[in-house]
Amino acid sequence: MRLALGQIDTTVGDFDGNLESISRVWRQAETAGAHLLAVPELALCGYPPKDLLERPAFQRSAALALKRLQARARGTALLVGTFLPNPRSSGKPFLNAAVLVRKGRPPAVAGKTLLPTYDVFDEGRYFEPAAAPTLVRFGGERVGLTICEDLWNDKDFWRVRRLYQEDPGEELLRRGATFLLNISASPFSEGKPRLRQRMLSRLARDGRVPVAYVNLVGGNDELVFDGGSLVVDRTGHACAAAPLFEESLLLVDLVRDAKGKTSVVPVSRMRPDHRWDDPMAALHGALVVGIRDYARKCGFRSAVLGLSGGIDSALVAALAIEAFGPENVTGIALPSRYSSAGSLADARQLAENLGIRFENVPIEPLFAAARSSLAPLFQGLPEDVAEENLQSRIRGMILMAVSNKFGPLVLTTGNKSELAVGYCTLYGDMCGGLAPISDLPKMRVYALARHLNAKAGRPLIPVSSLKKPPSAELRPDQTDQDSLPPYPLLDRILERLVERNVSVAATARQTGASRELVEEISRKIDRAEYKRAQAAPGLKVSKKAFGSGRRLPIAQRSPS
């Protein structure tokens, strides 16, 4: 049997566009002589559909799209992810389903058994779990059909704590599956492509059957899907793999030997993809795809951002030119009385290095006018954060005005370290439509900037932006370290408090920081929750990002 895995980029709710993507890769599979093509989880409607599932028009469109695929079926069968009404009279309204479409045959349906409700996932809100995984006969194989999470509960791999009692993979093997096929919409986080490969290899090796996995690729809101589709043979060897962050078609032959064992023979020519082995290259690819698809799927063709001369805005600008093209990116310097000549020079140099349009819009006249208007109200009071934030909010106002006038997407430039402790200004530097690096701690920002320079073979991002002390430049001689501990220490603290939920006491022991400092950082994290609730959507690239995957109350007094 020749198997094709169609790694495609879909858009939530774009049934015509998704149908075209599926049909395109289906034609390619037919030309290649494939007997079966598999495309990702919920590929027909896009992932994640969220509450669009509740709209009758959305439900009708999904049903019509599936009928169109069934009418198109010819020689190559199709396994497609979609949702179907729950046939039972009780339970959640839908099934997360894999539908096997074959010419002249009624479709076979496999429902998803394990429904994730952790981190960014909320499938239990909409879907009823299947009572059991589905085994079908196809091409001389007994194929175990699974959907994403169904293969993420192997007791031999997840030894510390499994999330479910059931193990669909194990059950299918017990029922005689000779081959496991998994369709997925598994979002990217750093290290996850290799984790998936290890997990699937362990399952194949233990079960002595091949495992094929096809994943979604592209961005949808905060989620970025890396693809990374692969086929693992019965020894656990990954013998065919698709590139990360690209649409592709992967082809293998499944061959039964004289002893009835199924072997995998790659058909697709493997293209080397260094991103599988280079974490920084994978992170780079994820952010570019996330920016590109967010803009494309929301109707933006250009971007604008403030260039401060610092490392954060420099990195965002460098990522933006890959997502939009340099001719579609504008950087605006917004200097105040406290901005250094060096920062303005660095911003201009960055724009020249990247080949983007550069504008200089001094904010001093607006800042002076605002101070004058507020002078009677603030009379007798010393200058403080109120005046500092005026500058940031004036900058946000200008960027949003440019967006309103010309239509570009405003990219915010704050990083995860700043967002964690509230070192950001609501309606100021937080203004914008997308926060590309909001899940990157400050030290990761530096590392990725150096990676981009190394890849370019020249200082794309000015060396001075990498070397100078970070500063918001909102008062004379200000640096970030006036208000924050050194970033290497801060990031170690935040990694434990935010991503791993380590206690204050344990965080202090593990990082070497004083308990008082860790308690202060913990308080800042909690106090800044109201800011993050109003922040632009960011791109999730870590195991625990701010956003839908971290749900905390704003008004709370929790123990540390």
Catalytic residue annotation = 41, 112, 148
Q: List the end-to-end C-alpha distance of the chain, in Å, as a whole number.
A: 57
Phi and psi at residue 290, to the nearest 5°: -60, -45
Tokens encoding 27: 């034609």
Range 467-472, long-range pairs (CB < 8 A, 24+ positions): 468/310, 468/342, 470/310, 470/311, 470/442, 471/310, 472/388, 472/392, 472/423
Phi and psi at residue 316, to the nearest 5°: -60, -40
Dist. CA 102–CA 420, nearest whole Å: 51
Dist. CA 540–CA 543, nearest whole Å: 8
- The residue with tokens 């009418």 is 71
385 C-beta neighbours (distance < 10 Å), count: 10
- 163-178: burial string, b at 16+ Cβ within 10 Å, e else: ebeebbbbbbbeeebb
Which among 123, 238, 119, 274 has a CA at the least distance from the CA of 184? Answer: 123
* Sheet-wide strand order for 248-256: 105-111, 94-102, 77-85, 36-38, 2-7, 248-256, 262-266
For the chain, the 3-state helix, strand and coil shares in percent, each to the nearest 5, are 40, 20, 40
Sign of the CA dihedral running 139, 144, 146, 152: negative
Cross-strand partners of 336: none
Residue 90 contacts by C-beta under 8 Å, 6 or more apart in sequence?
Answer: none
Residue 497 contacts by C-beta under 8 Å, 6 or more apart in sequence?
Answer: 504, 507, 518, 521, 522, 525
Radius of gyration of the chain from its Cα atoms, rounded to whole angstroms: 26
Q: Is 27 exposed, middle or buried, given 0-12, 13-18 or 19+ CB atoms closer than 10 A?
A: middle
- The CA distances from residue 515 to 124, 390, 481, 482, 505, in Å, are 39, 34, 19, 19, 6
Which among 128, 134, 172 has a CA at the least distance from the CA of 153? Answer: 172
Dist. CA 394–CA 408, nearest whole Å: 18
Sign of the CA dihedral running 443, 449, 451, 457: negative
